[in-house]
Amino acid sequence: MTIEELVALSASLDPDDAGRLYRLGIFPMPLADGYGWFYPSTRAVIVIDEWSLRCPRSTEQLLRTYRVGIDIDPMAVVISCAKIPRPGGWIDRTMIEFYRGLNDRGLLHSVEVRGPDDALVGGLFGVGVGGIFVGESMFHQVPNASKLALFTLVRVASNLGYRVVDGQWPTDHLATLGFATMASTQYAKLLVACAPMEPAPFPTGFLDRGQLRLRGPG
């Protein structure tokens, strides 16, 4: 992140205003004296209709052992992401409470990978606004679990009528998952196009294998 990408400062976070701000393409992160709202100069995005990455067989094979669910317990995914040690970790106590507020308002969504005993072993969460799903964070406790969650997200979001999955800042890891880079000016045009979209609500509960079809024909 750079100072040029910081577009607003706030002393606190208001979940009631978050939907409007996410629709503007900005998102919060904690700073030393409050919170910054950022608009990256370059975004990591999946334009769903243009995404051609096939789910690796090794990832799809997780479905033999694990189940994938939607919005079963989004806050459990938030807390699991917060617990994973990583450079620049930013999901602190106040961010967790902010996401709890978004969850209460129906804006927060999760894809969850769970074992036979329903233990959470991977997943992701984010915010759905207009035709864009803004991915906030992901984690895994077994190899490829977060990748399985992403492929599931793209499949489900496409079926619901979303157009874009926004990964925020580009990283080498996101590039391996099929995210492309997009300049902020081009992303702004996507925001305008996606703002009036009204995707169907996310389903709640476990998905069966037939609903996933991650690899497609062949």
Q: For the domain that residue 101 is a member of, what is the CATH number? A: 3.40.630.70
Pair 111, 104: CB distance under 8 Å: no
Range of the domain at 120: 41-212
Domain presence at residue 161: yes
Of 108, 138, 137, the C-alpha closest to 123 is: 138
Smallest CA-to-CA distance from 207 within 59, 112, 68 is with: 68
Number of separate domains in the chain: 1
Question: What whole-number distance in Å separates Cα of residue 129 and Cα of residue 161?
Answer: 12
Note if the pTM is more than 0.85. yes
| % pLDDT > 70, the chain | 95
- Helices 93-104 and 74-83 cross at an angle (nearest 10°) of 160
pLDDT digits (tens, 9 = 90+) for 32-90: 889 999 999 999 999 999 887 778 888 888 999 999 999 999 999 999 999 987 776 78
For residue 159, how far is the Cα from the chain centroid? 16
Q: For residue 184, is it within any domain?
A: yes
Q: What is the pLDDT of residues 153-189, one digit of tens each?
A: 999 999 999 999 999 999 999 999 999 999 999 999 9
Q: Would residue 82 count as lying in a domain? A: yes
Q: Is residue 31 part of a domain?
A: no
Name residues whose C-beta falls within 8 Å of residue 32's C-beta, 6 or more positions apart in sequence. none
Structure tokens at 11: 């002393």
**72 part of a folded domain:** yes
- The verdict on residue 97 lying in a domain is yes
On whether residue 1 sits in a domain, the answer given is: no
